[in-house]
A and B are shown apart, each in its own frame.
Chain A
Amino acid sequence: QVQLVESGGGVVQPGTSLRLSCAASGFTFSDYTLHWVRQAPGKGLDWVATISSDGIQKFYADSVTGRFTISKDNSKNTLYLQMNSQRAEDTAVFYCAAGRGRSFPQSRYFDYWGQGTLVTVSS
């Protein structure tokens, strides 16, 4: 079955960097659009970034543009989120999610989710 497993979360100081990973299995990785969605403690869901199935198109929330980079390695079935210049407001559980499809609209649904990894930005 489809499985997404995030890793790389932890406690970091403001202004520093962290890279999250999401290992995927149970589906053809290169056929899916992949996303990062975060949820601050006690708050709602907040879309962060999307990468197309071919890795060419990337989209970012305004709040992370210029600081975060989404990427994928099809040979390793792994999605990444490089987070630089982190701020206290980036504190959240980060989920990776997969959309079943390469094109609109199916690619923009979050069909499958990982269990999340907690990132805490604090001095």
Chain B
Amino acid sequence: IQLTQSPSFLSASVGDRVTITCRASQGISSYLAWYQQKPGKAPKLLISAASTLQSGVPSRFSGSGSGTEFTLTISSLQPEDFATYYCQQLNSYPLTFGGGTKVEIK
């Protein structure tokens, strides 16, 4: 199952609302996760089951979608949110990731 993220890069300001899209090549129900990765660090699980926020993740992050189209939204971008974000499908093996979306400071 291929996952296509868009955009691959976005430039935004602190306080902006940011939306990242992940499209699956076939239906995956809600079997999708979102990860955040900062330079030189391991990824961190933000959202499971397409919309379930992990413990400790700020409420400005939210996920939605099912089937083939999913979104990750950051309601008000904070300085610590500048990172690369990946979606991952767990519907079937091989497990796959999207290509990533790098969020940079405008």
Contacts and interface: CB of A to CB of B under 8 A. Distances in A.
Contacts of A61: 94
Contact of B43 (A45, A50, A60, A105): A45
Contacts of A116: 42
A50 B42 contact: no
Given A35-B95, A47-B95, A105-B31, 19 more contacts: A44-B86, A44-B99, A44-B100, A45-B43, A45-B86, A45-B97, A59-B93, A61-B94, A95-B42, A104-B90, A108-B95, A109-B33, A109-B45, A109-B90, A110-B35, A111-B45, A113-B43, A113-B44, A115-B42
Interface string B6-32: 000000000000000000000000010
Interface string B22-64: 0000000001010101000011110011000000000000000
B63 to A, nearest CB: 13
Nearest to A60: B94
Interface residues of A, number: 21
Interface in A33-63: 35, 44-47, 50, 59-62
B29 to A, nearest CB: 9
Given A47-B97, A110-B43, A105 B49 contact: yes
Contacts of B88: 45, 47, 110
A113 B43 CA distance: 7
